[in-house]
Structure 1
């Protein structure tokens, strides 16, 4: 009979606020009639780009000296006038703000980086046009996009959400500003937990939302009211320290994540539990403890938590059997083709990977030193940092500071928790 080795010293991780909650709350506060307080928002390249964009559309935003509280004074309606909105790399800005702007009056042009221009917007544009918006774009289904706004009628929302739930989230958040009630069927949408988060935050800001038992949502006109909101730590970001704990035998605790979390990506810890880690979720914290080895022979559907599938794939070579992750086709349309990028980098490390359109199977192996192609994707950089740490193998990231998109202090925090992690030099 084998005994599990004792866990090493307990660690408390400092995880920044949720990007998903921060961006949604910024938009809802901008649409509310009055001043909202957002406590502990994520301060990163993406959220700062989103904050600047929202301010450009008419909201007034004041932040505390330490950026731990943002006071957002909204207009109680869609934007009015004209604006040139720079979305930088932020997919949420490109997908959430055009529907909001279409409920207003004026002309609003959205553009972004080359990486963001490459990401698809076709399904969102088609639905906005069907709702009565007049759109102008030189490249069909891509940025740049000009919205000639005159309000939206409402009615049935029919949007292809197979690539991203963000299309539907953006339309739902605009719905209380439309002239007629909006109905949407959520049953075929990917990443349903993100839609649940959107609806929960809409309710928090006073929207009139009703969900029928058949998966149909009805949102009635009436706008939003201001509120105060404490932003939870980012569950997707926490996946990296939880995976590191599971793979190294440490115990890591994240305060602020809890059983009442709005974030579906907290489900990642259940996948770690399947791999043999000890998981504890309370009303105040979430903890993961490594138990001396990772269990393989698993077939996991991670479609609802696809932002964390790379984290699991990165530590999968250390398991005692193959690990299959499926249901993640929509991850091909993120900052990078995440299925292809994950497979490419694991193979560069000498790991056998089988890849399909919507899945990867990672086989056990001993990673070798390699240069990791990040593809300007923060989640690739963070996931493979965990593999290098857990496998004690030097992996060089070609773009280590792409992590500033969501977690500017990632490398420093990982090194604080796990001194074996080397903070890359800034170029």
Structure 2
């Protein structure tokens, strides 16, 4: 079998000859888009998603729902047809729920949201739904979802792997009720059960039994989005028991939803301002959000920048200096690769903590970051739950991505300050950030408004 040229090609990471000054329109949030697709598919009436992210992960989610009988119609909406608010023209997806059914085969790629959010949906389908994906998807933990669904009444054939590939034998309904899971390796285990919980006969009560729970903002995002479509959800924050979430059975409403920009995907562009001492504006940055990427305002400010929310969006400016940081990233682990890249260029050491679960992401991100930064001359040490980074003078070389989009953008950040960095398989950024190379080079070489 011949290797895909896109996976072996080397992309010369652009070197910044001066301070950046650009406005970058970041595409919609993957996390919001894929949750919204699931909720719309389970609703009792059609709905709209405005400005959804069109990327590999979201197209895999849409394709999987289509395979199970859901209508996903892609259109270009004019502003005159948008009921959800002004300035929401552009791409829109019409979601038309229907009877979920098999037989069907779902390609999850290497998307955690697809492989974890859809087995509960498949349990509600009438007929068998087979799940398969990229080789790396076989290594990612899925036992929390599989075991929980079995306890709730689902029939799943995974040949004892606790991982892909597997088949969910949908019976058209699921009893639901109380279930205990250990979601220490992924908060998506909790979100997956909550998203489909309103459609279970008894709803669902999810009790997390593990000692840690990473990425809590993503669970809060799930809860907020459920409530927005009419679900009743009791949470620890609303006076419930610690580590227990309850969803009452009931119908979900169709929504007309504008998808927020993906704030985690804004990270490399904000990092560019920090690294070059320039300014980047990200329009439509929300004033209130559950997205983990909002923590960048605090973290990158501590590392030497400054930011302000204005009518233009988030204006972020670097000071020309980059400082090391000691930070717990347990709730925002997906930001670790970009923060590690910036930390490798800082004027003092950094310690990134609380992210042992990153060993189970698209790749083992802690091992990958350590290897790739060190091969450029860096001094990174893995710890039990993170990284310790001592800045060193770096040199050019090949930065491998391991089919991980956030590794690719981390390498691009380093390339701003280090000549001769070549990114292997930059095309992997299409997983969540389509057209990244064009946005990146445009930001550096053609200041103005990018990404429209």
Q: TM-score, normalised by structure 1?
A: 0.92
Residue among 102, 111, 115 paired with 1:90: 111
SS of the aligned residue for 2:331 comes to: helix
Report Cα offsets for 1:237-289 as digits up to 9, x if no partner.
Answer: 00110111111111111111122123122112211111121022358722211
Distance 1:399 1:237 in 2: 18
Distance 1:27 1:403 in 2: 23
Query: What aligned pairs does 1:12-411 form with structure 2 within 5 A after superposition?
Result: 12-65=23-76, 68-75=91-98, 79-138=100-159, 140-150=161-171, 151-185=173-207, 188-211=212-235, 212-213=238-239, 214-215=241-242, 216-281=244-309, 285-296=313-324, 298-389=325-416, 391-411=417-437
Shift of 1:217: 2.4
SS of the aligned residue for 1:120 comes to: coil
Matched, 1:412 2:438: yes
Distance 1:392 1:182 in 2: 51
| Structure 1 pair 136–164 and aligned structure 2 pair: CA distance change class (3 A) | same
Report Cα offsets for 1:79-108 as digits up to 9, x if no partner.
Answer: 234211122222211100001111333211
Report Cα offsets for 1:37-85 as digits up to 9, x if no partner.
Answer: 100000111111111001111111111148710000113x6x2342111
Shift of 1:321: 0.7
Report Cα offsets for 1:376-402 as digits up to 9, x if no partner.
Answer: 11110011101111x132111121111
Distance 2:50 2:248 in 1: 28
Aligned pair count?
411
Distance 1:232 1:366 in 2: 38
Report Cα offsets for 1:10-55 as digits up to 9, x if no partner.
Answer: 4211211100011110111011112111000001111111110011
Query: Given that residues 83 and 109 in structure 1 are in contact (C-alpha distance below 8 angstroms), is that contact kept between their aligned partners in structure 2?
Result: yes
Distance 1:98 1:223 in 2: 20
Q: Which protein, 1 or 2, shows the higher relative CO under an 8 Å CA cutoff with sep ≥ 6?
A: 2
Query: Given that residues 98 and 147 in structure 1 are in contact (C-alpha distance below 8 angstroms), is that contact kept between their aligned partners in structure 2?
Result: yes
Shift of 1:370: 1.3
| Structure 1 pair 156–284 and aligned structure 2 pair: CA distance change class (3 A) | farther
Range moving further from structure 2, 153-162 or 58-67? 58-67
Range moving further from structure 2, 8-17 or 246-255? 8-17
Range moving further from structure 2, 225-234 or 398-407? 398-407
Range moving further from structure 2, 341-350 or 351-360? 351-360
Distance 2:174 2:224 in 1: 23
In structure 1, stretches of 5+ residues that fail to align are 1-6, 422-427
Query: Given that residues 259 and 283 in structure 1 are in contact (C-alpha distance below 8 angstroms), is that contact kept between their aligned partners in structure 2?
Result: no
Distance 1:380 1:114 in 2: 18
SS of the aligned residue for 1:80 comes to: coil
Query: Given that residues 242 and 269 in structure 1 are in contact (C-alpha distance below 8 angstroms), is that contact kept between their aligned partners in structure 2?
Result: no
Q: 1:3 is matched with which residue?
A: none
Shift of 1:311: 0.2
Distance 1:299 1:31 in 2: 42
In structure 2, stretches of 5+ residues that fail to align are 1-17, 78-89, 448-452
SS of the aligned residue for 1:117 comes to: helix
Query: Given that residues 20 and 444 in structure 2 are in contact (C-alpha distance below 8 angstroms), is that contact kept between their aligned partners in structure 1?
Result: no
Range moving further from structure 2, 178-187 or 98-107? 178-187
